[in-house]
Amino acid sequence: MNILSVASEVYPLVKTGGLADVVGALPSALLPHGVKTRTLVPGYPAVMHKLKKKKAVGRFENLFGHPATVHSAEINGLDLLVLDQPALYHRDGGPYLDTTGRDYPDNFRRFAALSLAAAEIAGDNVIPGWKPDIVHVHDWQTALAPVYMRFGSARDIPTVMTIHNIAFQGQFGASVFPELSLPPEAFSVQFLEYYGDVGFLKGGLQTATSITTVSPSYAQEILTPEFGMGLDGLLASRVDSLTGIANGIDAEAWNPQTDPHIVEHYGASTLKRRAANRKALEDRFGLDHSPGPIFCVISRLTWQKGMDLVAEVTDDIVALGGKLVVLGSGDAALEGALLAAASRHRGRIGMVTGYDEPLSHLMQAGADAILIPSRFEPCGLTQLYGLRYGCVPVVARTGGLADTIIDANEAALSAKCATGFQFLPVTADGLRLAIRRVMRAYSEPKLWARMQNQGMKSDVSWAKSAERYVSLYSGLLAKG
């Protein structure tokens, strides 16, 4: 079975969030099942720089006004197809934002081009002798691919549309439609028209053969007005085609027994070795070496992620005898509030702005608990990393967080199966109560170690989820 996966980012080439991790890890998990994946990504500068060996396998003479080349390359076991079109992708900023932090004004064109390229490759019009059995697209940036396929030569190839976060929909003014190289009927309620605008994600959800999202709970939540972000009605009409499949993690890249980014390796039977990582973490953030749990936050600093709640409880964490380390960037006001807390509590709170992959590994290996108070969370990966590293997750009871963490309530503690702490409502008071529960549990070393061990035993790999994707793919081909 050959899959064409299409995404706007892929780890380790380019990453702004969990999407890249998923797109980078799933192909290797599918391979033992006889599923071969080729991943199509844009040729950003960061991507082209890392293509030491590449081969031109296809060409577009005119893709949205400019020629483009499709390169084949292999990196870290990933079979890549890279769409190289300098006019669209060779920018000084990131994948989506310019150097001032604003959306590129031609993002609609940049990702329509990626989607059209995918549709043409699927139609066997670009790479001689190769076409996929299924096209799997991710988020709004590639959601036009099923639309282009519906109106092109690849209309009979099944498509899977995965929603990683329905809050990001790719909605643009109607004026962009004439540039999309689609027939007039595509600008209709049955396809792209969305309250008078062009909706990229909406079009993908209308036309994909199957829709998936990244956890079973999130698949249910997005059917409601509260979480569906205006698309709940459409999704309800397609509920028979909607599946929730929880993400896994790359268990090799995130392995405390071999991780090159941490000070001392350890496993469930050698948890005492975490102390060396804790000390290194304290030194890195300028914290004192006093006892008490270290809470960590590794996140985009946004309202969705509940970072305003973290800012509200910083004084409580310190007053209760805890410490806090934060790695992230985002909303300027939230950055400012957390930096102010770090200044107010020197030696107890530390912060690094931006993103640092090696440091994120050390934080999971050295901190005692990770705070994830998201108001909504399709799946989440940092709580899975926490489980793997014995960094106990403290999570809001929503989406994939609720699916992956077993709350340390009395029944779970008695059964010795608790792996973390869930809280509801998702408010500052809800988070404060959860932190108090953590402090009580941490004061009982045997109970705390048992929770760490239980979390580290959790299967957070892609194994089970890959099996579900294989079953989904097979079912689509069987319907043929």
**pLDDT (tens digit, 9 = 90+) per residue, 391-405?**
999 999 999 999 999
332-389 pLDDT, tens per residue? 999 999 999 999 999 999 999 998 999 999 999 999 999 999 999 999 999 999 999 9
280-312 pLDDT, tens per residue? 999 999 999 999 999 999 999 999 999 999 999
From the annotation, which residues make up the binding site?
15
260-278 pLDDT, tens per residue? 999 999 999 999 999 999 9
pLDDT of the residue at 479: 87
Q: What is the percent of the chain with per-residue pLDDT over 90, rounded to a whole number?
A: 96
pLDDT of the residue at 124: 85
Phi/psi for 181 (5° steps) reads 55, 45
Mean pLDDT of 249-269: 95
pLDDT of the residue at 429: 98
**Domains of the chain, CATH where assigned:** 2-248+463-479 (3.40.50.2000), 268-457 (3.40.50.2000)
pLDDT of the residue at 355: 87
Task: List Cβ neighbours of 56 (8 Å cut-off, separation of 6 or more).
Answer: 69, 70, 71, 72
pLDDT of the residue at 418: 98
28-40 pLDDT, tens per residue? 999 999 999 999 9
pLDDT of the residue at 450: 97
Does position 125 have pLDDT exceeding 90, yes or no? Answer: no
From the annotation, which residues make up the binding site for ADP-alpha-D-glucose?
15
307-334 pLDDT, tens per residue? 999 999 999 999 999 999 999 999 999 9
Provide the mean pLDDT of the chain: 96
Confidence of residue 52 (pLDDT cuts 50, 70, 90): confident
Mean pLDDT of 46-55: 93
Strand order in the sheet with 392-396: 349-353, 323-328, 294-298, 369-372, 392-396, 421-423
Q: What is the percent of the chain with per-residue pLDDT over 70, rounded to a whole number?
A: 100
For residue 174, CA distances in Å to 106, 112, 149, 166, 180 come to 14, 14, 21, 21, 11
Sign of CA dihedral 310, 315, 319, 324: positive
Phi/psi for 60 (5° steps) reads -110, 125
Confidence of residue 434 (pLDDT cuts 50, 70, 90): very high
Does position 455 have pLDDT exceeding 90, yes or no? Answer: yes
137-160 pLDDT, tens per residue? 999 999 999 999 999 999 999 999
Does position 171 have pLDDT exceeding 80, yes or no? Answer: yes
pLDDT of the residue at 446: 97
pLDDT of the residue at 17: 84
Confidence of residue 18 (pLDDT cuts 50, 70, 90): confident
Does position 480 have pLDDT exceeding 80, yes or no? Answer: no
Mean pLDDT of 84-112: 96
CA 105 from chain centre, in angstroms, equals: 24
Mean pLDDT of 114-128: 95
